[in-house]
Structure 1
Amino acid sequence: MFVGTGSDVGKSVLNAAFCRIFMQDGHSPAPFKAQNMALNSFVTAEGLEIGRAQAVQAEACGIPCSVEMNPVLLKPSGDMVSQVVLNGKPAGNKTASEYFLDTNRNALFSEVMKSYNRLAQKYNPIVIEGAGSISEMNLWDKDITNMRVAEAADAATILVADIDRGGVFASVYGSIQLLPPSHRKLIKGVLINKFRGDERLFHEGRKMLEEISGVPVLGVVPWFRDIFIEQEDSVVLDHLKNQPQPGKINIAVVRLKHMANFTDFDALRHVSEVNLYYAENEETLAEADIIIIPGSKNTIADMDMLRQRGLEGVLMRLHQNGMPIYGICGGFQMMGKFIHDPDGVEGNIPKTKGLGILPVETVFKEEKKTEQCRFQFINDSSVTGSGYEIHMGVTNVDGSPLCRLENGETDGCFLNEKTWGTYIHGIFDNASVIQQILRQVKPDILINFSLKDLKEEGFNKLANLVRDVVDMEAIYSFLKE
């Protein structure tokens, strides 16, 4: 099990690394995270929703993802409110106090461990990921995802610390010393993550850390930028160069406050002719060649945010001037005439006006649609691919749909080749779709990009990197205990 001294220390990526290492070594690993808080989610083949990180880790294991890998998912829809997804299905919206104080934590933990045990019957080893910091003392009695899981699973637990943010000695020592003795003894080692520079300069520090913590430092993992692994947390967007570049096809993704599934655009970031960036103001939107409005966990609030920032008029003007604009899920809904929420699914605003670009209207419903799909563009049968849907809205289209799905249904709305919207997440993972939108700017472009190949290359590079710097003999000794 990989636990952390804090959030964003790199647990998810290291978990994926070990999933791939164990698979390469002939084992049958599977990932597990009891509770995930993320707006980046995925849909299993059974139509159940889990955190994207566990879907990525399952790919690293070479197996299909399943709901047992992430039985509890919290999807924030406001500053203090989250949708609770239990065993892949929505279980209502709760404030933080309601979730931590009013839910039956023992019953929830029982559900979590049922999922773990089902996984453990099929796979070995189970590579478990904790959440946030293990030393939030005020949450210990409510814990269903960190050391309580480690204890119940009798997992060899490795503490991950991010040296790049500073304070690594205090964070490692404090995290271990604050634990009660029964949990402290489960910590078998420490991994130092995100190290920049010459690792030899940390040799003395490594010995000192081992002396004060009482556990071995199993490895120092360097900071890397040249390995592609899908990320879970949109905090990574803060490290991107969010500005246009001359000589490239500039694609601006509108940065929404409640943006969901930002990994929808990972494939576009890796097309050599493309510069993809996230735009929050008129200047950077106007300098784009293509604009995409992404998904949102709170579409009405984000539509109102666009209006307050003055971006509603900017988008309409750019559309009228021939700028290609595409919408995904919540972005598709925003491109319509109106968004209705009569039952308060998203909040207390019953109706808001959309951008009016597409002839559609959306009504939010309590029932959530979560399923994988295959599609073909109706106006161009050469544009095909696969993706997945996650939404609670029903959109009435007074015009032409964009896609025909494999099950015979239609999806989205097609105004013209420069203007369409869809509910399909992952639509830009498909080379034919990328080529369709890029040809609106560069008509002769050919795309032979494979996201699957890029992912496989990333998993293998990551596994090799971690193998080189981690005491794998010690890791395997833990599995034999």
Structure 2
Amino acid sequence: MNQKKRLKPILFVGTGSDVGKSVINAAFCRIFKQDGYHPAPFKAQNMSLNSYASAEGLELGRAQAVQAEACGIPCLSAMNPILLKPTSDQKAQLVLNGKPIGDQSARDYFLKTDREFLFAEAMKAWRSLDSRYNPIVMEGAGSISEVNLWDKDITNMRVALETGSPTILIADIDRGGVFGSVYGTIKLLPEAERKLIKGILINKFRGDISLFDDGRRMLEELTGIPVIGVIPYFRDIHIEEEDSVVIDYKRGSTDTSKINVAVVLLRYMSNFTDFNMLERMPEVNLYYSANPTEIAKADVVLIPGSKNTISDLIYLRERGLAKAIIQAAEAGKGVYGICGGYQILGEEIRDPDQVEGDLEMMPGLGLLPVVTTLSKEKRTVQTRFRFQQQKAYGTGYEIHMGQTRLLGGTPLCTLEDGSADGCLVSPKLWGTYLHGILDNRAVVEEILKANQLQAEVAHFDYNAFKEEQYNKLADHVRACVDMDQVYSVLDGERSC
């Protein structure tokens, strides 16, 4: 382990949801790495449909996997010991220490789960990281001023108290009301928690930052806490997002000057980061849509993963999207499904154990000769694979509940252990369980070739691109933050 001076852990919390905690956390993960430390991320409880498989074969939120990548270390389930994956408007699957332990309603989760047990499990995971890494860069969830939820808290200020962590409060100035949100958040906190707030970080500032000099001074006078930085809004740094709220900014339509790739916008879409590499290619216009007309205009149609495949199948039929997907395939356009999208393209989805709901069977779109049977057991694994008959291995990961049996076609991929994955009907029509398959250059090249589309894939190294983005993000944040102040609050005796 790096022999740099031992630092206290640091916790980033927010005045609300979507203020930029995950990205700021990733920035500090990379900054500490650049400065010679050996950091690791941690979020006690996360709610997201965008998850990742660790090398241990366990599941965690995608944001913590991204933050681990920014740290330059493999991700571990301990970095996100409690993960909630919504399966409907009222229920979510509870994943504890990387493994699902059942579905619960929001009411049951907050009122009937043993909060002490969950918090103890979270802290056990935290200690396992703290013994190996320095410092632990932690992220809270939502707003810390939800006073009605304080007694249920297992991820915000209770973590700060337990670990003795200096805490930085992040506020999003772009949404307005920054003075009220910062002042109100701090003043609502009990005194012991308020004392742990060591800095305020103003995020997503547009325009001339010097115009906020008076505002910065006023905030410090109002709260008695230093404003350690004002981070300008950016659009030229691309970090994988976790919350599907970002999809609202990615909805779009066709662009006749580019290759148009439509991602069908499902209600319970998961792992939308599967399409990040395509999105970064300058010749590609990748957009998300639930409009059948826009799906029909695309050159390539992608059906993403889903946390509730049967519900999304019903949704596709109700919106006319099922017909648009089938017509795209009949017109000879490329149609490809990943995980839940693979299941949707098949002949039938069976749910004898009612994993997803009351329906025990639902016809699929009938484009792939496969039948899926859902099960209570979840497969969570990182893997290497050979795509079609290629010799080189690619990398991906699986997170799914259920097994799919081929009735025809051929397997799409051969996994490293010799087993098969997916179903290939033609180069223009296939499905796979492999998340991340489109991050592999050879796969994208084959899709473009099959659809007679031209793009410079060979010169785009997605892994190198991501490393460049982490460094750009770190430089951007470092330039706007008083790092001497940050290190001063992380120095000294640890209280945990």
TM range (shorter): over 0.9
Q: Residue 490 of structure 2 corresponds to which residue in structure 1?
A: 479
| C-alpha deviation, 1:384, in angstroms | 4.0
Question: Deviation string for 1:323-378 (max 9, x for gaps)?
Answer: 11000000000000111111110111111111000000101001000001111123
Query: Percent identity, aligned pairs only?
Result: 59
8 A contact 1:299–1:333 mirrored in 2: yes
> Which of 237, 257, 263 lines up with 2:267 in the alignment?
257
Q: Residue 395 of structure 2 corresponds to which residue in structure 1?
A: 386
The within-5 A match list for 1:48-197 is 48-197=58-207
CA distance in 2, matches of 1:372, 1:82: 24
Q: Residue 18 of structure 2 corresponds to which residue in structure 1?
A: 8
Question: Deviation string for 1:60-105 (max 9, x for gaps)?
Answer: 0011111111000000010010000000000100001111111110
> Which of 278, 282, 294 lines up with 1:284 in the alignment?
294
CA distance in 2, matches of 1:193, 1:403: 43
Deviates more, 1:49-58 or 1:277-286: 277-286
Q: TM-score, normalised by structure 1?
A: 0.98
Counterpart residue identity of residue 438, structure 1: L
| C-alpha deviation, 1:239, in angstroms | 1.4
CA distance in 2, matches of 1:282, 1:141: 46
Q: Residue 463 of structure 1 corresponds to which residue in structure 2?
A: 474
> Which of 400, 419, 430 lines up with 2:429 in the alignment?
419
Deviates more, 1:239-248 or 1:191-200: 239-248
CA distance in 1, matches of 2:47, 2:262: 26
Counterpart residue identity of residue 373, structure 1: T
| C-alpha deviation, 1:446, in angstroms | 4.6
Question: Deviation string for 1:149-199 (max 9, x for gaps)?
Answer: 000010000000000011100000011000111101100010000001111
> Which of 244, 247, 254 lines up with 1:237 in the alignment?
247
CA distance in 2, matches of 1:125, 1:41: 24
Q: TM-score, normalised by structure 2?
A: 0.95
8 A contact 1:2–1:129 mirrored in 2: yes
Given the alignment of the two structures, is residue 272 of structure 1 paired with residue 294 of structure 2, yes or no?
no
Helix, strand or coil at the partner of 2:131: helix
8 A contact 2:15–2:182 mirrored in 1: yes
CA distance in 1, matches of 2:298, 2:335: 10
Helix, strand or coil at the partner of 2:257: coil
8 A contact 1:439–1:445 mirrored in 2: no
Q: Residue 26 of structure 1 corresponds to which residue in structure 2?
A: 36
**Structure 1, unpaired ranges of 5+:** none
Counterpart residue identity of residue 183, structure 2: Y
CA distance in 2, matches of 1:276, 1:172: 37
Q: Residue 397 of structure 1 corresponds to which residue in structure 2?
A: 406
| C-alpha deviation, 1:228, in angstroms | 1.2
8 A contact 2:41–2:137 mirrored in 1: yes
**How many residues were matched structurally?**
480
Helix, strand or coil at the partner of 2:161: helix
CA distance in 1, matches of 2:418, 2:407: 19
CA distance in 2, matches of 1:225, 1:336: 38
What is the RMSD computed on CA atoms of the aligned residues?
Answer: 1.0
Counterpart residue identity of residue 408, structure 1: G
8 A contact 2:43–2:80 mirrored in 1: yes
| C-alpha deviation, 1:291, in angstroms | 0.1
Where do 4+ consecutive residues of structure 1 move more than 4 Å? 443-446
